[in-house]
A and B are shown apart, each in its own frame.
Chain A
Amino acid sequence: EVQLVETGGSLVQPGKSLKLTCATSGFTFSNAWMHWVRQSPEKQLEWVAQIKAKSNNYATYYAESVKGRFTISRDDSKSSVYLQMNSLKEEDTAIYYCTWILRGYWGQGVMVTVSS
């Protein structure tokens, strides 16, 4: 059974940093292109970042809204993908989902609240 489990969500002040983790199981993680997608309190979904596989040189891509502030990474030995979020803004408040878009698998999501 494919599972994606996100952890690391929290309440954080503007300007601070936070790192999300997505632990996966049930599939060959090393071959999968992984993504982070977020959903605002207004329920709008926004693609955040993608990381490709080793065979694609771990290429990364970002939404303009997070470029330069967020970093996606992966550890194939742990079947995990990460999202390092720096210089957080109130508009980054959302549920963050880890997802394998190609095969349609999503985690349950983790809440990040940016507020003073």
Chain B
Amino acid sequence: DIQMTQSPSFLSASVGDRVTINCKASQNINKYLNWYQQKLGEAPKRLIYNTNNLQTGIPSRFSGSGSGTDYTLTISSLQPEDFATYFCLQHNSLYTFGAGTKLELK
């Protein structure tokens, strides 16, 4: 089974900051990596699919990069509505989620 190590678990930042969240796979996942945002009481919402493809309707301040085992979600300029929890999902071999990153207002 593929394991996903997501970091950091918690991130404190301010509006306007640039932030990055990382996911490391236990083996090559061939860019089959999605990113999700989840707010309290809601289902996860997909932001990025297959490493760097922006979901329709998602602002361009969100971007993804990576290859092999290492992947990154970047938010270029944090907005108030971006404070939420973020998860990665590998779908190269079955499916494994990262443990999540809670992004909080500093």
- Known: A43-B100, A45-B100, A64-B1. Is A104-B43 also a contact (CB below 8 A)? no
Interface pair A47/B43, CB less than 8 Å apart: no
CB of B52 within 8 Å of the partner chain: no
Residues of B within 8 A of A63 (CB): 94
Partner of B94, one of A45, A47, A108: A47
CB of B16 within 8 Å of the partner chain: no
Interface pair B43/A43, CB less than 8 Å apart: no
- Known: A44-B100, A45-B87, A45-B100. Is A108-B43 also a contact (CB below 8 A)? yes
Number of A-B contacts (CB under 8 A): 41
Interface pair A101/B91, CB less than 8 Å apart: yes
Residues of A within 8 A of B100 (CB): 43-45
CB of A91 within 8 Å of the partner chain: no
Find residues 65-106 in chain B having any chain A CB closer than 8 Å to their own CB: 85, 87, 89, 91, 94-97, 99-100
CA distance A45 to B99 in the complex (A): 7
Task: State the A residues within 8 Å of B (CB).
Answer: 35, 37, 43-47, 50, 61, 63-64, 97, 101, 104, 106-109
